[in-house]
Chains A and B, each alone.
Chain A
């Protein structure tokens, strides 16, 4: 028996919006610790990992580990039927071929019930080791979204150059070129507006904007986004250090005392010169 109740159902809506255009079919792995999902996009260029802790739910019961394979577009269609302030309850029986979604209106006078068919997916799980990255950039998520959107007018790839004084996002194409430079901000009263750079060495790498624009769909989940990267590593070193991680924390919307209840991490390999 599996049951998870989330008063802030809008969090699930935002998570689906952040992954449904990247991944078609995926499995939610449910354990007593929470729900997680790992999937590659259809062209296998990027990897997305979602995690929601059990203590982020208002009620969470998972008697034994379950894998819920589903079409995320179908799930998204159903989740869209919930109002933003609805409580969402996910229920699954043992060995069932479907899950039930309940949307409870705030005044508890209305309950909508939907079922979604499950799929048996032959998921390929990739091991994601804990890696220390040489460069970590924390910045407002809406600024990152804007930069990716603007630069995709210019070219297909963004070149991220990071030095101690700041970070530069640049793109070039047939019509010309463009760049945005962000300086590290001083400690401010509004941490959500800050730009923080932590680096061991300078870095310059290029990434496909098509994917970064997909990742930026997670912007409504978090005021800040973290980009973690490492410079090109010498031959023989594990290649995974070259992968960029774009991370959005998932927080509950408690204005007084917000807490992190999970994350979305997107992994993208750099574009390299042939």
Chain B
């Protein structure tokens, strides 16, 4: 089973 993280886990809020 594959899952996907939110893109917010990868980029920091400015």
Q: Which residues of A contact B (CB under 8 A)?
A: 40, 44-47, 124-128, 157, 206, 208, 239-240, 242-243, 267-274
Q: Verify B4–A269 contact, CB threshold 8 A.
A: yes
**B2 touching A124 by the CB < 8 A rule?**
no
A223 to chain B, nearest CB (A): 27
Nearest Cβ on chain B to A268's Cβ, whole angstroms: 7
Of the residues A45, A267, A272, contact of B2 by C-beta under 8 Å: A272
B10 and A40 contact, CB distance less than 8 A: no
CA distance A231 to B8 in the complex (A): 19
Contact of B5 among A126, A128, A272 (CB under 8 A): A272
User: Which of B2, B9, B13 is most buried by chain A, counting CB atoms within 10 A of its CB?
Assistant: B2
| C-alpha gap A240/B2 in the complex (Å) | 19
Q: Give the distance in Å from the alpha carbon of A124 to the alpha carbon of B8 in the complex.
A: 10
A206-B2 Cα distance, complex, nearest whole Å? 9
Residues on B with C-beta less than 8 A from A242 are 10
A126 and B12: CB pair below 8 A? Answer: yes
Complex: A270 Cα to B5 Cα, angstroms: 8
| Smallest beta-carbon distance B7→chain A, Å | 5
User: Given that A40-B8, A44-B8 are contacting pairs, would A126 and B3 also be in contact in the complex, using a CB cutoff of 8 Å?
Assistant: no
Residues of B close to A267: CB separation below 8 A: 7, 10-11
Q: Could you tell me the distance in whole angstroms from the C-beta of B13 to the nearest C-beta in chain A?
A: 6
**CB neighbours of B8 from chain A (8 A):** 40, 44, 124, 126
CB <8 Å contact, A44 and B6: yes
Q: How far is the CA of A206 from the CA of B4 in the complex (A)?
A: 10
Apart from the given pairs A44-B6, A269-B5, 15 other A-B contacts in the complex at a CB distance below 8 Å: A44-B8, A45-B6, A46-B7, A47-B7, A125-B14, A127-B11, A157-B2, A239-B9, A240-B10, A267-B7, A267-B11, A269-B6, A272-B3, A272-B4, A274-B1
